[in-house]
Amino acid sequence: MNNIVAIVGRPNVGKSTFFNRLIQRREAIVDSVSGVTRDRNYGKSEWNGKEFSVIDTGGYIKGSDDIFEGEIRRQVELAIDEADVIIFVVDVEDGITPMDDEVAKLLRKVTKPVLLAVNKVDNAMRVDDAIEFYNLGLGEYYTIAGMSGSGTGELLDALTELLPEPEEVEEEEALPRFAVVGRPNAGKSSFINALIGEDRYIVTDIAGTTRDAIDTKYNRFGFEFNLVDTAGIRRKAKVKEDLEFYSVMRSVRAIEHSDICILMIDATRGFEGQDQSIFWLAEKNRKGVVILVNKWDLIEKDTMSTRDYEKRIREELQPFNDVPILFVSALTKQRLLKALETAVQVFENRKQRVATSKLNELMLPIIENNPPPALKGKYIKIKYCMQLPTPTPQFVFFCNLPQYVKEPYRRFIENKLRENYDFSGVPIDIYFRQK
């Protein structure tokens, strides 16, 4: 399972610059995905063949200076609870500040690995200045310069040493994995309890560690799948339930570990920023998504019809809004079966393979009638297309000048594919390549 690395520290020490450097490594390899800019606080990185998720806690702290101290303490406590490795960033220009001391005090108590990164060390004199950080009592430190990247290699070598070897994934059992995600109090637990019911149609319980989501092998109405429950993870007394960072940290693991994400939102609160963060997290990880608007029984129907409500959500999801949205009530069990059937359908859509001959038969005439706009007097000719043999739907279009194909045309192609094939709930990747 993917490891989570949290970057902590007080404001303005360069956490975000360092974070961007880490995730760019990854994004330089993978084609850039539209929608990535939505959420600058979460990314994936890879070093020495090990992949890990990075969370920049700084991006979640909002508030005036006097609120900061309490907020930072909360973020650090959360990172201690949820992350596998913690990188504590300090600033060589400022030396040790009282707030650094506070953070260090919390980190000295934990059993999890903590790496101390002294940032902004961009010349030899500053290397000597960094020595004072031994006084934080966290042992060895790494000197880095987030802007230029110097020193980050050594830090990442140390980090990957601490991560377990990637597990060999056993292929034999390809049961779909459905993760139930959403902000606190959206009704995830009630949804799962309503599905499983008193009669518990459970074949076996596969428990991860207490911190991981719990997998339940589940068989009902002829579907068999693993339900990944993020709701049932132990409640934290220390943590305020409404913390945005908390839900996102909590969801990262479940989302990366699933095929389909069932995103529950609370009808009485609407589709909020945090729901969006979780949605884009799933989209960025190329997971299938089904949105359930829960507690629909509490809404006055004359003030808000399902059509208006749905339209509003779809506007927030642009450009990827080909997603099933269902109105349910975990309490009255209304439409829960339909929700499951829809999740299974999205799972099937995600596995869908389109034959190359059929794809060319469909797409080439469409492209001929609507070719990409010429750029600098050069005409783009698309000759051939195919679906790649990847776990999620990816299509490649071969043409003479791939670098001239712009985002609006990519979207046009995607829309045509969606009109002709059912990819509802599934992100699609489209690449243009030179033959």
User: 9 labelled as ligand-binding?
Assistant: yes
User: 34 labelled as ligand-binding?
Assistant: no
User: 415 labelled as ligand-binding?
Assistant: no
What is the four-CA torsion angle of 48, 429, 252, 278, rounded to 10 degrees? Answer: 150
User: 122 labelled as ligand-binding?
Assistant: yes
User: 186 labelled as ligand-binding?
Assistant: yes
User: 230 labelled as ligand-binding?
Assistant: yes
User: 12 labelled as ligand-binding?
Assistant: yes
User: 23 labelled as ligand-binding?
Assistant: no
User: 49 labelled as ligand-binding?
Assistant: no
User: 219 labelled as ligand-binding?
Assistant: no
User: 197 labelled as ligand-binding?
Assistant: no
User: 266 labelled as ligand-binding?
Assistant: no
User: 47 labelled as ligand-binding?
Assistant: no
User: 212 labelled as ligand-binding?
Assistant: no
User: 232 labelled as ligand-binding?
Assistant: yes
User: 11 labelled as ligand-binding?
Assistant: yes
Cα 101 to Cα 95, 107, 135, 268, distances in angstroms: 11, 10, 9, 42
Residues in the chain: 435
User: 391 labelled as ligand-binding?
Assistant: no
User: 58 labelled as ligand-binding?
Assistant: yes
User: 50 labelled as ligand-binding?
Assistant: no
User: 294 labelled as ligand-binding?
Assistant: yes
User: 184 labelled as ligand-binding?
Assistant: yes
User: 119 labelled as ligand-binding?
Assistant: yes
Say if CB 335 and CB 306 are below 8 A apart: no
The two structure tokens encoding residue 236: 């934290």
The two structure tokens encoding residue 124: 């030899």
User: 139 labelled as ligand-binding?
Assistant: no
User: 145 labelled as ligand-binding?
Assistant: no
Residue indicated by tokens 């806690």: 57
User: 121 labelled as ligand-binding?
Assistant: yes
- Return the bridge partners of 186, or none: none
User: 229 labelled as ligand-binding?
Assistant: yes
User: 431 labelled as ligand-binding?
Assistant: no
Distance of CA 405 to the CA centre of its chain: 27
User: 60 labelled as ligand-binding?
Assistant: yes
Q: Which residues are annotated as a binding site?
A: 9-16, 56-60, 119-122, 182-189, 229-233, 294-297
User: Which residues are documented as binding site for GTP?
Assistant: 9-16, 56-60, 119-122, 182-189, 229-233, 294-297
